């Protein structure tokens, strides 16, 4: 199968940030507790007419504009989400409609929660093998705030809303490796409407913490082994932005270069399937990405899903 290389990124968040101090007004918590346990100071929550579709379409449109591609060049659209606006149609179809993409390409969603963008890129790579068009549009978009139980301070303080998008191009030659897995677990879940239980996030935080650190190490080790590369060959590791302590733990255990692990959960919180592409876009807007760089993208989350990609920014990557 041919590889993917990264061409451009996009991102969008709701207008109003929600600081830890805002949460401390409605529940028994504090900026000190949240920041010291998670690295999060602030996140965004959708309000009014802010929807997953609006955020996803804005991020996707930005990525396409930056890539300089037309709708006719997009060979597939895959969205990673577990909080789409409709149960059906898929969020990706709503984005397709908002962007006016043609009707002769595969368009679908992937629900792999916080690993969603990694899975979605792999699904898109599969679609592109059969396509005459060279580009894939992959979006991660969430409104997890809809599912937060504001009486459960141990989960409500973690999550935020947002969207990130990437344009990838199919290429025969570029460095590309992937690893995907899932453990079939309920440790983070949102019951469906038919269960009769509240549709709210519940989580065994300690179990997820242990899973996350193992999953991250396993993904990184697998990608290094497949590629024969080391951290010296990698420019950036972009992990799911759940918790800075999870990243610190992995960095220590792997004796890895901490400065290569990007973090922005302080401003966005955990945006689930949006977190990896939103982080990519944040890095791009901070001028941290450039053509030819080697990236590791690492996800873990509900499912319990996990996985990673090793890929390159294209020689003509649209750096901001």
**What is the binding site for ligand UT7 (CB under 6 A)?**
29, 33-34, 37-38, 114, 153-154, 157, 188, 203, 205-206, 208-209, 212, 242-243, 270, 301
State the burial class of residue 59 (Cβ atoms within 10 Å of its Cβ: 0-12, 13-18, 19+): buried
The string of DSSP codes covering 20-74 is HHHHTTTSS--HHHHHHHHS--EEE---TT--HHHHHHHHHHHHHHHHT--GGGE
Length of the chain equals: 320
Q: How far is the CB of 3 from ligand UT7 (least distance, A)?
A: 27
For the chain, what percentages of helix, strand and coil (3-state, to nearest 5) are there? Answer: 40, 25, 35
The DSSP bridge pattern shows strands 294-301 and 3-12 to be unpaired
Residue closer to ligand UT7, measured from CB, 136 or 220: 220
Q: What CA dihedral angle connects 23, 268, 58 and 199, to 10 degrees?
A: -50
> By C-beta, is 64 or 188 nearer to ligand UT7?
188
Q: What's the CA gap between 205 and 188, in Å, rounded?
A: 8
| Nearest-CB residue for ligand UT7 | 205
**How near is the Cβ of 136 to ligand UT7 at its closest, in Å?**
24
Minimum separation from the CB atom of position 307 to ligand UT7 (A): 13
Check if the beta carbon of residue 47 is closer than 8 Å to that of residue 14. yes
- Which lies closer to ligand UT7 via its Cβ, residue 249 or residue 260? 249
Of 1 and 183, which has the nearer Cβ to ligand UT7? 183
Shorter beta-carbon distance to ligand UT7: residue 212 or 224? 212
- In angstroms, what is the minimal distance from the CB of 28 to ligand UT7? 6
Task: Say which of 82, 177, 240, 243 is annotated catalytic.
Answer: 240
**Pair of tokens at residue 268:** 């966005």
Radius of gyration of the chain (CA): 18
Least separation in angstroms between residue 292's CB and ligand UT7 is 31
Contact 316, 292 (CB under 8 A): no
Whether 240 is a known active-site residue: answer yes
Q: At 142, list the tokens.
A: 């969430």
CB of 285 to ligand UT7, least distance (A): 23
Q: Give yes or no for a contact between 223 and 259, defined as CB atoms under 8 angstroms apart.
A: no
Question: Please, which residue, 26 or 258, has the CB nearer to ligand UT7?
Answer: 26
List strand residue ranges (DSSP E) for 60-158, in order: 74-80, 107-110, 135-143
Q: 């997890």: which residue's tokens? A: 144
As annotated, the active-site residues are 114, 240, 270
């Amino acid at each position: 199968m041919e590889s993917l290389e990264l061409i451009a990124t996009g991102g969008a968040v709701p207008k109003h940030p929600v600081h830890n101090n805002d949460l401390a007004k409605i529940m028994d918590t504090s900026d000190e507790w949240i920041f010291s346990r998670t690295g999060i100071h602030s996140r965004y929550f959708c309000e009014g007419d802010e929807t997953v579709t609006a955020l996803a379409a804005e991020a996707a449109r930005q990525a396409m504009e930056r890539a300089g591609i037309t709708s006719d060049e997009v060979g597939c659209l895959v969205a990673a989400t577990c909080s789409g606006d409709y149960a059906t149609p898929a969020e990706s179809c709503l984005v397709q409609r908002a962007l006016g993409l043609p009707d002769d390409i595969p368009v679908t969603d992937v629900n792999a929660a916080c690993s969603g963008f990694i899975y979605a890129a792999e699904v898109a790579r599969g679609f592109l093998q059969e396509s005459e068009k060279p580009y894939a549009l992959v979006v991660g978009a969430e409104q997890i705030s809809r599912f937060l139980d504001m009486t459960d301070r141990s989960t409500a303080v973690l999550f935020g809303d947002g969207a990130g998008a990437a344009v990838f191009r199919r290429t025969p030659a570029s460095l590309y490796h992937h690893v995907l897995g899932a453990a079939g677990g309920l440790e983070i879940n949102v019951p469906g409407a038919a269960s009769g239980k509240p549709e709210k996030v519940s989580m065994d935080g300690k179990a997820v913490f242990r899973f996350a650190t193992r999953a991250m190490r396993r993904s990184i080790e697998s990608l290094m082994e497949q590629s024969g590369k080391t951290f010296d060959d990698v420019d950036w590791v972009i992990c799911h932005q759940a918790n800075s302590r999870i990243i610190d733990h992995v960095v220590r255990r792997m004796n890895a270069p901490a400065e290569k692990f990007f973090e922005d959960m302080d401003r966005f919180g955990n945006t689930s399937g949006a977190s990896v592409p939103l982080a990519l876009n944040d890095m791009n807007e901070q001028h941290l990405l450039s053509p030819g760089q080697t990236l590791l993208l690492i996800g873990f989350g509900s499912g319990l899903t996990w996985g990673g990609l090793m890929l390159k920014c294209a020689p003509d990557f649209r750096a901001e």
